Amino acid sequence: MAGNHGPTDTWIRCFHPLPGARIRVVCFPHAGGSASYYHPVSRALSDPAEVLVLQYPGRQDRRTEPCIEDLDELADAITTALCGRLDVPTLLLGHSMGAALAFEVARRLEAAGTAPSALMVSGRRPPGQLVPESVHTSTEAQLIAHVRKLNGTDADVLADPDIRSMVLPAIRSDYKAAETYRYRPGPALTCPVVALTGDNDPQVSVAEAARWEEYTTGEFSLEVFEGGHFFFMTAPDKPLALLAERIAAQT
């Protein structure tokens, strides 16, 4: 069971603790995302897995903390926070920016001799195939338009000036972390990698998602679902069924 781990609890949320869990899933939110986004995922997978969800600084209960605008710095902090939580097989699941972050954490864990049991990356091009983007330098109106285009944030939330003033700084900071990230070549992962993508995602094509295979010497599979960038939100049943299947295979 995930118990009291002191400062690491700043980073980790466990909505459905599972004493004696045989496997854990660690979820990495997208740019501007918070831990609560994964509450439905945690509920759906809470047996036999214990689901841990990361909470980045600058949002929700960490909104008074400064955002971290460097993806490698985020990966270092998260790797440290996960130490002590790796006593059972651990699967990493990241969406969009969270996919790049989960990949970098997987690299760090493997280098430390504590490889994850699998890495699942969703809605993201491979780390060495990034297209130069500068959403983080855009105006507030342009940033809002971009987020709305992806359908990742409730339009009513962005229409409320008070809520908008709370969420936009985290969104902008996360985009800066994602867009300034540069992959540093190194050994391929050895753990299995599963790439998930929507068939109508404006951020990544199916062909681009397939190139994640180049980043592991382990098993690779590509899963394509109906939907856009946030297919997990619009049609969650099939991706959740796949996750449950992967978890069952490792327990």
Cα 135 to Cα 139: distance, rounded to the nearest angstrom: 9
Annotation marks residue 96 as catalytic: yes
* Residue of 59, 142, 130, 61 whose CA lies nearest to 99: 130
Cα 249 to Cα 251: distance, rounded to the nearest angstrom: 6
- Terminal alpha carbon distance of the chain: 16
Q: Pseudo-torsion of CA 136, 139, 142, 146, nearest 10°? A: 20
Q: Pick the catalytic residue: 96, 117, 122, 173?
A: 96
The b/e string for 14-47 (b: 16+ C-beta within 10 A; e otherwise) is bbeebeebebbbbbbbbbbbbbbbbbebbebbbe
Q: 92: which strand partners?
A: 26, 119
3-state secondary structure of 96: coil
Active site residues: 96
